[in-house]
Structure formats: structure tokens, C-alpha cells
Structure 1
């Protein structure tokens, strides 16, 4: 599990700032944010200006204009395959701020060489600079995502990642627009691009000077310079945590998905939407704004936790609007090259833009929690190397997307048909990942229930530990108590539950998926009784959270029942802190019993969005625990 550095912990507003934008006023985040923003902007200003120059302004016999974008893109992505493993090791071995400043120094040197290439129209030099800027991004990638969990707390990680994701796509957009506009200036465009690239590199290096130190997480690491063996080693390490490994694959799939759309925008705008170059630029703007909006929404929708329940929501939206984009665009009437104003005046085009905006918004909801989860769950000393391995997977998936899209086009598929196939494939891939890693699906169910069935409010959530073993004890009011506790916790919880609840339709399957531990009274099933305590002790030995309901059953009258002594047997084997909790206002809802009848017999008997609360108390040291004390603490919380 990750820990927050002393600097972040000492920051008075580390856990108290009102929202993610407040991070831009803090030194631990703001200089880093603007450093990565300037780097992403410079990458794309340089690449797009170079692409426009060799496509429209220079005649290069050995590189036809139609191949320019492909060659430049391939050269830029090649270093990710060659050097990601090495860059991950460097980030773990050295102070991350030192690595960032080195990368920004390298960027200045590359841009000075590129300035000479632009000034003299030397395509060979600019191609070399494209490869070197790819190397610059390869070196920065692991430190970009390894820095955040080192300086941000768990409750800030989603917001911080959302800001970085939003900033990256805005920088890409602005870089592309600026590169295209500046290089098109008659006579002096290439010279102005040269000046702009160097100036932006200098600004990024100046801002990087204000990033505070971020100490090495594995200073004794011996660098393995073989990228193949090191990449394989890191993937094996990530595979040791199945949630992290499947998340790596999930993020790489998102890059596959996004690369298909981004690569087809020019063709889609020209051949399907019948628009000019400005329409193609509009598609990029809509896509970038959608990604940025979705990224920023993550903190709000997750209650400022790492909420992977948003990932299935994002996957559903990505597929839904990709498929609708096919239906929205397949029957547009033919037209001459429409200007931007003419394009916007057609009502049918607004549905296309809405689909694109919502598709990208849900992609933001999909990707940000996955990145935050990898940062939170990766082994601290190997975090950058795992992220580097992810960058390699991302590059491979993006290359595969280009190859597959090219093959589909070569056999006669249209761009809308490709969008349809990718949307359907996304649904299949997402379902496969969520079945392999049920935690995503469970968190999604908990998130939906706590947001749409109830108005769920949590007090004292800072007492739920983000690292280390602990026992959560709570009153037992309904059949979904465990689901609501899942929604409140930033980490998975293994519950000890009455084995009879596993016979309840749907809920039983849900709790089996959550690997809940069935328990029966010793008098009824001694073997199940002993097995439950052995499994509970193992959960705590592994440093995870264990949830129990000491009353032993759901209340029949809404009042707190006597706590049983099973928790003492668990603490004898594994003495860990105990966190008391109390669910409030849940009695009388659909999933609870009522005095006049059973549970789940009359839907909406308290209406929709009824208020439900969870009050979390301060941890109790294991040596102070007794059933009576815990019962008194829970009663106080009620």
C-alpha cells in the first residue's frame, strides 16, 4: 500500500482542500502540473507543426505527404517500446524531482536542435528530434504517475489524476492548434515554430525548479539495462497483484479504443461528415473537452476516494455512445466540403458531436480511477517500473489499433463501421476484465446503490484506514449493509457473514463474488464456525480489512442487539485496530425487516433517494476491545 510523504502529511490542507482545483495553489502539485502541461503541449506543437510542414510546405521525395503522419507517429512511439523499462528503474532509483529536471534539460537541448531543423527546413534533423521527443516523453511517463501518490493522500489521488489527465488533453489540444496556426504563417511560420518550441521548453524547465524533492523509493536498485528482460520482470511483478495487472490491461485497452477514434478523425470529418479541415479540428476539440470533463468529474462522483466503481460506468458509456455514433453518422446526406459554420447549422451533426463528447467523457471516468488504483495498490518500491511496463503495453495496444484499423479499411469497412466494431469490442473486453476482477463490478454496484437508491452520507470516513489491517464492526440493519460499507471504504473489505444470507437470490451471488466468509453457529456447524475464524485471521495477516456484524443477525425491531464475543477470538490470533461504525436511518427501508413483515416485500416503501448515513468512530486499540465497549461505541454513533 502507498504512504504519503512527510511533506504531504504536514501540509495543512492535504486532506481539507475543497476540491481538486485547490491543488493548483499548493507547491507540492502546482509546479509539477504546469511542468507536465508544458511538456505535453510542446510535444504536440512540435509534432503537428512538423507534420503540416512536410505535408503542405516542403516537397520531400523520400517521404510522401500521405506517409508523413504515420512516420512521425511511429518514430515518436518507438522509444516507449525501447526505453520504458529503463526509465521506470531510473525513476525508482533517483529522486523524482531530479529526474524531472533532467528530462526538462533534455527537452531544451532537443528543442534547440529542432529549432535549427525548422529554421533550415531539414527534415532528417526534425525526424531525429521526433524520436528524441519520444524519448523525452518515455522518461517523463513513469515519474509523472509515480510522483503523485508520493505527495498526495488517498483522498486527493483521484482529483490529482483527474487534473493531470485533463491538463494533458488540454495541452495536446492547444499544442496541435498552436502548431498548425503558427507554421501556416506565410514566410516566417517555420521560424516562429522554432522560437515557440524553445520558449516552451525553457518555461517548463523554469517551473520544474519549484517542484519540491520527492525522495527515491528504491535507492539501492541496480539498473538492468536489458529492456526485454526488465519489462518481463515488471509484468510478472504486476501479475502478483491481479487487480493491478488487470488494470494495466484495462488502461492499455482504453488507449487502443481512443487511438482508433483519434487516428480516424481526419477521414471521418472528410468522408463521412463532408467537412473541411476545421471540422476535423472541431472533432479533436470535442474529444479533448470530453476527456477533460470526465477526468474532473471523477473526484466529485467518487467522494474524493479512489472509486473503481466508476470504471464499469465509464465502459458502459464508451460502448453505448460509440455504437450510437455509428447510427448517427451512417446516413448523413452527401455534401460538398462544409465549412465549420455550415457543419454546425445541420441538426444531425449535433447528435454526432454529442456522441463524441459523451464517449470521451465516459473514457475519462474509465481511465482516471484505473490510474489511481495502480498508483495506490502497486508496491511502493516498484511503482515507477510497473507504470513503465504499462507504458509499453499502451504503445503496443496503440500500434495494434493502427494495424487493425488499417486492415479493416483495406477490406472495405467504413469509418462508422470501425467505430461500431470497437464499441462492441469494448463491451466484450470490459465484461471480461470485470469478471476476472470482480472488485470492479462490486464497487460499481455499491456506487450505484449508494448514489441512486439512497442519499448516502458518511461522517468520520477519515477513520477508515487506507493502509494496514483492521476490523470494521457495524450494526446489522439490512441485507445490503455490507454493500453500503463497500461504498464507504477506499479499500476492499472481506466480510464475515451468516451463511444463510448466501441463500438469498442475487445478494447471495453478490456476496460470493465479494469472497465473503460464511459463518454458522458452532452448535449447528462446528467446521464452518472454525473455518470462518481461520479465514478471518488470514485476511488480517495479509494486511486487509475485515468486516463483521457482531450482533450475529439482522435486527428485527430496529434496535441495537447484544454484541457477541467472536471478535475476541479473532483478536487473539491477530491483534489489530477495531473501527466502530453505525448505519443510520436504514431501518424500514426495502432491504431491512420491519416489525409488520419481512424484508424486500414492498418496493419503494420509503420512496426513492431516502437518506441513509454511516457514522465512523475512532479506532479502538486491540488491547482495549471488549464486546460491551464496542456495543457502547456503536450506540453512541447511532
Structure 2
């Protein structure tokens, strides 16, 4: 849709293609957490059973909820690719109603066994919904809306988690009627979700002829191999799973951190959850603003840096707090030393939002539509494994005598190592980060006509400038990676050459004795176009030659003219890129291309 129709991501809430889906997933996330937290409180404080101690209740409930993600994610991904997605959503929401009817009986009868069964079934419900949740968005939203849409979903999910936990704790504590009120609230949310799902527009199946493999073990392995087929996507899955590892360490330790380190009561632990949720939501929503409504993975290194910095500072802020009597929220907030703790937690989670949303959007945009849901299923499997690993590792460190702040410090430092490793394996993240910093903070870069930049398919970008910084600015303008054709000397510059080599730039020799090297460069350039990627060329003659060779090889290629310039009377550092509409094959002549480039310049 036109850019002017959607000034920001909140406008999507007025669109039928997004709003019913957003509120359906919001109701589901709220219900999951209302049910789980109410059940945890009930079995901890009210329903004492010999075979489930209060200290293990939270662990058992969490493990039962995560188990279906390991068992059934692969099957869920296949079902989502094979069938129309709205049909899957409505089935899942109808299943939720049945589960909540059973859970209602469990709450009112005080049956821990029934409620444990419902915990597992709600895990199945969330497992089935997971692939649909992220596979639906790329079908409903265009590339310019994808980051904002993911940000809204991420924000909505954490707000729903927060509200579900708060409501569950308040309702179950009501004297005499607590379990009944929880049962009614869970059923009411399930019914609301099913009604909302009825308004979600159809999202056609992407692989209707898929043969379902019902063996979860072999299909899980097949999904992971499928995801590994696109190495950038697979390593992004690992990056997201690491974020869940990182976040799970902090979320799991809030109760003990509040009690043993901050000397606060249960309400202080709830305050920490509120601060964390607000930070995640804020960071998720900031992604669209900072990315200029494109999928901007340059924000991922920024998020990783912030996660480490504020995890380390959280350790420093909490390391030397004096031992005092247990305090409530009012007394806790009244002490300035605690403001730093809350600010660290807020900014840590904000940067986690900046880290995760672009990765989700990248996976959605770069995955093949025919098996996108199975890629998301592989992501869910990895997420579950990483969260389990985080619980085991954090428990081992605490069992070995580490304090909670020391576990936070170790997690923050490990984040720097893991993130750095990922960025070296996938240099596109680092390149986009450098491009983002230069274009936003140094050159005040502005793009006009960016809707002409192709979001899919092969294209030759023809620009009037050839400097290193010019190429970095072009990286910042495009939501997709660009392969640059450059003079061989540029690849040997100290810093610029290193970055160009990271971007897999093609050395384009032009001397009379370089015929073989030029032939090899042309073959490499054609392979880039054959794979459906973007190729940037500064020579009009070279671009026309490559275009002719591509057409002769049967490669469908468009040609997009661009012009970099500094607007008249603009302050230093202000640079503008004007993007023209793609040229038709008949216009791809030296004269036609020259006229289009001249028309773009002021």
C-alpha cells in the first residue's frame, strides 16, 4: 500500500488485515499467562499436594508448557504451509475454548492433575499458533510494513504477558471465588480470541501439495536442514534463540533477584516484570522509526551492544546494595540507588527489542514462501532448546555458589561473545550497522523514491558516484544486500577495502591486460543476478553490457537509476539519494539511461 496511507505502525490497527490478527494473538498470549500464573500461585499457596512441592511447581508448569514446542513444532509448520492460515487460526482458537472448559473444571474442583494436563494442552495450542503467527504477517503486510508489524506483535505479546500475569495473580487471590473467577476469565479470553479470529482475512496456503510427515523426530531434523539451506536465515534463527536464552535468564531470576538482592517483596518482583515488559515493548516499537519503515538489520548489532552494556551495569548497580529489611514497592522506589537498577533493566530490555524485531522480519522476508512456516517452526524448536539450556546453565551456576548479579554479568559478557561471533559469520549485520550509523549520525542521509528500490528479484542499480562512502550510503538505502562492482584498488584500502571485501564486492579490472580478470568478474556478476540479488554499478557502459548479457542468459533483470547529491544550500553532511523508477528493457540504452540519470539530479 502507498506510504502515505500508513504514517506509522499504529495505523495498522485500523486495518482489517492486521487488527483482528493482532487482537487474536494478544488474547491468546494473555490467556496463556493468566492460566499459568494463576495455576502456579494456586498450587504454591492454596492446593498443597504431596507429589508436587511448591518449590518445583513453577519449574514443572514451565517445562510442561515448553515440551510441545519440541514435540510438535515441526508438524505445526507443515500444517501451516499446507493449509489456508486463517483456517488454522480458527481451529487453534476453537481448541483453546475446549482446553479452557476443561481447565475451568480443574480450577473449580481443585484438581492439580487436570490443570497439569491443561498446561500441556495450552503448550500444544501455542505450538500450533506459533508458525501461523509469523508466517501470516509477510502475506498480509508489504516490506515497508513488516518491521512495524513485527514490532506491534512483539509489543502486544509482552503487554499481554504482563496483563495476564497480573490478572492471574489478582483473580486467584480473591477469597472463596478465586479459582472460579480464573476459570471464567480464561474461558472469556478464549471466546474473545475465537470471535476475533473470525474477522481475519484469508491467507492462502503456500504449499498446498505438501505431504505431511507425522514423525516429529525426522521432521524436526528435516526442518532444521531446510532452515540451514539459507545460511543468513539459519544464523538469524540462532541469533533469535540466543535472545530467548538471554531473556529467560533474567525473567526466571526476577523473584530471587527481588528478594535476595534488592530486598523487596513479591510486588517488587512484579515491578521488575513491568519494567522489563515496557522496555521490550518500547524497543520493538522504536524499530520502525529507526529503520525508516524498512527491514533494517543494522539495528541488531546496536541492540546487542546495549544488551551487554546494561547487563554489565545492572551487575554493578546491584553488586553493593546494603542489606536491609524487606520492603514494598513504595519504599523500593523511594531509594535513588534502585533507580539505576530499574533504568538498567528498562534499557537492557529496550535494546533486546531492537535486537529481535529486525531478525524476525529478516527471516520472514528472506525465507521461501512455500516453506516459511516450517522455518518458523525450526525457530520455535531452537528457541525452546535454548530456553531449556538457559534454565539448566543458570541453575548450575547458582548451585555452584554464584549470586544472581554474577549470573547476570556472565550472561551479559557471553552476549558480547555470541553476538560478535554471529556478526563475523554473517557480516551483513555488521555492514548494515556501519551503514546505519553513517547514514543517520554522520551524513543525515535522506532517500526520495525509495519505493522504486526492488524488494525482490534481480536488478542492476546504476549510480552516479563511485566513492567508498557513497557505496555505504547505498547499503543504508536498500532493505536488501547489494553486491558492488568496484575498482580493484578500492579493495586494498585499509578500512574501506575490508568492508568492501566483507560485502563480497566484485573487482572490475579495466586495463588492456585484464581481459581474463574482467571476464571472471562478469561471470561473478551474472551469478549474482542469476541468484536474484542486487548488483550496483557506477559505469553506465558496464551496466548496459551486464544487462545485455543477463538478458542473453535468460535472467530477468530490471535496471534502476540512482543519483546521490548534496541539496543546494544544505548544511555539511546532508546527502540525498534520488531513486528513479526501473527502466523498461526498451529504454535501457546509453541515451535512455543518461537521460534518466540527468533527470534525477538537481
TM range, smaller chain: over 0.9
2 CA distance for matches of 1:71 and 1:470? 53
Does residue 166 (structure 1) correspond to residue 155 (structure 2)? The answer is yes
2 CA distance for matches of 1:577 and 1:221? 33
**RMSD over aligned Cα atoms:** 1.4
1:573 aligned partner: 549
2:592 aligned partner: 629
1 CA distance for matches of 2:4 and 2:117? 45
1:334 aligned partner: 323
Query: Cα deviation per residue 1:150-184 (whole Å; 9 max; x = unaligned)?
Result: 11000000000000000000000000000000000
Does residue 198 (structure 1) correspond to residue 187 (structure 2)? The answer is yes
2 CA distance for matches of 1:290 and 1:467? 33
Structure 1 segment 179-198 matched on structure 2, within 5 A: 179-198=168-187
Indicate if the aligned counterparts of 2:587 and 2:593 stay in contact, CA closer than 8 A.
no
Residue 582 of structure 2 aligns to a residue whose secondary structure is coil
Query: Cα deviation per residue 1:270-313 (whole Å; 9 max; x = unaligned)?
Result: 00000001100000000000000000000000010000000000
Q: CA deviation at 1:201?
A: 0.5
2:57 aligned partner: 68
2 CA distance for matches of 1:532 and 1:585? 32
Indicate if the aligned counterparts of 1:15 and 1:153 stay in contact, CA closer than 8 A.
no
TM-score (norm 2): 0.97
2:309 aligned partner: 320
Q: What 5-or-longer segments of structure 2 have no aligned partner?
A: 552-556
2:482 aligned partner: 493
Indicate if the aligned counterparts of 1:478 and 1:586 stay in contact, CA closer than 8 A.
no
2 CA distance for matches of 1:142 and 1:522? 53
1 CA distance for matches of 2:169 and 2:333? 22
TM-score (norm 1): 0.92
Q: What 5-or-longer segments of structure 1 have no aligned partner?
A: 1-11, 551-562, 590-605
2 CA distance for matches of 1:635 and 1:14? 26
2 CA distance for matches of 1:412 and 1:183? 35
Residue 575 of structure 2 aligns to a residue whose secondary structure is strand
Structure 1 segment 112-127 matched on structure 2, within 5 A: 112-127=101-116
Query: Cα deviation per residue 1:526-576 (whole Å; 9 max; x = unaligned)?
Result: 2222222111111111111100011xxxxxxxxxxxx4x222221222132
1:18 aligned partner: 7
Indicate if the aligned counterparts of 2:73 and 2:380 stay in contact, CA closer than 8 A.
yes
Indicate if the aligned counterparts of 1:89 and 1:384 stay in contact, CA closer than 8 A.
yes
1:137 aligned partner: 126
1:480 aligned partner: 469
1 CA distance for matches of 2:445 and 2:269? 43
Indicate if the aligned counterparts of 1:234 and 1:389 stay in contact, CA closer than 8 A.
yes
Q: Tell me how many residue pairs correspond in the alignment.
A: 596
1 CA distance for matches of 2:568 and 2:418? 39
Residue 444 of structure 2 aligns to a residue whose secondary structure is strand
Query: Cα deviation per residue 1:68-97 (whole Å; 9 max; x = unaligned)?
Result: 100100000000000000000000010000
Does residue 509 (structure 1) correspond to residue 509 (structure 2)? The answer is no
Residue 480 of structure 1 aligns to a residue whose secondary structure is helix
1:57 aligned partner: 46
Residue 574 of structure 1 aligns to a residue whose secondary structure is helix
Larger helix share, 1 or 2: 2
2 CA distance for matches of 1:383 and 1:479? 36
2:450 aligned partner: 461
Indicate if the aligned counterparts of 2:147 and 2:294 stay in contact, CA closer than 8 A.
yes
